[in-house]
Structure 1
Amino acid sequence: MLVLGLDPGLRHTGWGVVEASGNRLRFVAAGVVDTRTTDDLAVRLVALHDGLAQVLARYQPNVAAVEHTVVNKNAGSSLKLGHARGVVMFTAAAAGLPVTEYLPMAVKRAVVGTGAAEKEQVAAMIRILLPGSGTYRSDATDALAVAVCHANRTATVSAIGRSIRAAVGGTA
């Protein structure tokens, strides 16, 4: 299964693709879709859509996982971020992908073991969990962390399902 992790932002939207097979993870690719702050909002949203559409076409992931954004103190910034999140989620859903959201604390807990982890800790663990992933901008690293979080959750849910089926007499 190819998991596309997304870290939405109006200026920079991070993306990361991870191949998950059971408990095994493999780094595929990562990057950032940037927009120009001098462009109008609508033009920036189109740039986000087009950039993510290229990623989807190139890597053809099976699922998308998006970091759920916590509200900023600045209402205007929160609204702009909401627009970006909408485009990110729409682009993935319009491509036929199931889209799951994860709170930042859940992502950090899945990758580092604590929801209070710092960005540097998350980046270090991503390099350990995904050999060959190298060093990326924080937006891309955060997106990889979201993908890892989803892959781990999916593997856990699948294992629990197998255990339940085995316990009630089905096949494991």
Structure 2
Amino acid sequence: MKKISLILILALTVVSFVSCSDDDGPSIAYQYAEVTGETLPDFFDLDEEYDITVTYELPDACNEFYTFNGGTHEDEDDESVLIYDIQVLTSYDPNVTECTEEGELTETKTLFEDFGIPSDFQYETIRFRFLTGANEDDEAEFLTVDVPVGEPEAEDPEETPAE
């Protein structure tokens, strides 16, 4: 009887272990959203603060905003340009095979609140590169916006000849 009990306990343990490893429970996967617009000033005044927003298109209604992703680096060809690379990362459950949720696919979120340029800033331009997707060669495509630091000098109006 003890042998049968031991075999039964071992069998139940193995079945329990195998059923847990095949768990199709919730999980999270990530996907980039297509950036479709932004709000940036025409130029950045030193020591001023700006709210910068990004508008993007969710891949489908099952996706939801997760975070902004990216970083900064100096332009390799022009050391007076600082580049912000920005992507919108969304999350979804890959176990959901049919998305029945209704929802708006276009959203706008604040990227930076109170974004400011200090008076000792060394760059003349900030280039924002927002990921919009990939082309047929699977190369990233960007919405690129250059914003000068400091108010651009006003151009002299053209003089009109005297009559």
- Shorter-chain TM-score bucket reads under 0.3
- Relative contact order higher in (CA < 8 Å, ≥ 6 apart): 1
Which one has a larger percent strand, Structure 1 or Structure 2? 2
Which one has a larger percent helix, Structure 1 or Structure 2? 1
TM-score (ref. length: structure 2): 0.26
